[in-house]
Amino acid sequence: MRYIEDDLTNKTILITGGAGFIGSNLAFYFQENHPDAKVVILDMFRSGETLSNGNLKSFGHFKNLIGFHGEIISGDINDRELLQRLEREYKFDYIFHEAAISDTTALEQDLMIKTNVNAYKDLLDLAVAHNANMIYASSAATYGNAESPQKVGREAPNNVYGFSKLSMDHLSREYMKTNTISIVGLRYFNVYGAGEYFKNTTASMVLQFGHQILSGKNPKLFEGSDKILRDFIYIGDIIQANIKAMRPQESGIYNVGTGKARSFQDIVDILQQELGTSLECEYIPNPFIGSYQFHTEADIESSKEFLDYAPAYEMEDGIKAYVAEIKRIYETEVKK
């Protein structure tokens, strides 16, 4: 689906984190809907380097870009010389900034702030120099345990990742005061869809439950999972919000969710219906009580008003659209 009718012929688009989940989906959106635009991907492809929690430092994977025909640059957004070269050698019209240390359990506060906040400032300076509109990934993690519905202005981050994203939002507002470029921060809620498999253990529970079911294992849920609710959003609506953020009515920070909270039990029930299974669920004690969000729901009124954003996928629609890819990944990556 094409979300804007603008002619992007001869426009140059930079996507940081373009080999990741959302970045790669953006790349293919432009390739399919605006083939005359020039798309440049910058990604620090995975190297095996891990954080202290054992998770990979970078989730970028070449398989997310198989079929992509644009330019690909391997590099770190913390490399100022690289960013200076991009400023000299290109003229970007739009920057989609998806690169980040996105692991919410990462303990390296120094690396998190350096990568998510300081490098973002350098990218904002690049955007200003090129007069390029900036669309960047903020996060619902900025809200921490704030009551639902989560609304911009009511933030209470409870980990360094959420703090770093909120710091990006504060920085963006300062740039909005003194620069004419459009700057839009998108606070993603619980995203699922094609391209997330290489996030490993941080991939959505939609994918993880799907693979449990396909392997014949009983889905394992926390006790009371019918009462643990999240705003789960399909990748198609994330792409819609990003594309519409190219032409916002107003720069700002906007929630990107469905505005509806659904349970983890709903995920399993819908998957079983789509996969034609009736495995019995196993319920295990929740070890995260006290440090776990039990309800998230995005207030999307300002997103509707200023981005013309309207979620198109209910959870039933999103999982139905995703299930063929869940099966393909299971056959080609999990079973091999």
Position 136, amino acid: Y
Q: Does the active-site annotation cover 161?
A: yes
CATH code for residues 12-329: 3.40.50.720
The domain limits of the chain are 12-329
Q: H helices then E strands: how many in the chain?
A: 10, 13
Round to whole Å and give the CA distance between 50 and 200: 12
pLDDT 10s digit of each residue in the chain, 336 long? 788 878 899 999 999 999 999 999 999 999 999 999 999 999 999 998 988 888 888 999 999 999 999 999 999 999 999 999 999 999 999 999 999 998 888 889 999 999 999 999 999 999 999 999 999 999 999 999 899 999 999 999 999 999 999 999 999 999 999 989 999 999 999 999 999 999 999 999 999 999 999 999 999 999 999 999 999 999 999 999 999 999 999 999 999 999 999 999 999 999 999 999 999 999 999 887 766 678 999 999 999 999 999 999 999 999 999 999 999 999 999 987
Catalytic residue among 29, 161, 188, 197: 161
Instruction: Please answer whether residues 115 and 160 qualify as being in contact, where contact means their C-beta atoms are separated by less than 8 angstroms.
Output: no
Spatial CA neighbour of 16 closest among 89, 86, 88: 86
Q: Residue 222 phi/psi, 5° resolution?
A: -70, 150
User: Cα dihedral sign for 45, 24, 301, 251?
Assistant: positive
Helix or strand holding residue 230 (H, E)? strand 229-230
Q: Residue 174 phi/psi, 5° resolution?
A: -65, -40
Catalytic residue among 38, 199, 244, 309: 199
Round to whole Å and give the CA distance between 152 and 244: 19
pTM of model > 0.75: yes
Q: Does the active-site annotation cover 136?
A: no
The DSSP output letter for 90 is -
Q: Residue 249 phi/psi, 5° resolution?
A: -70, -25
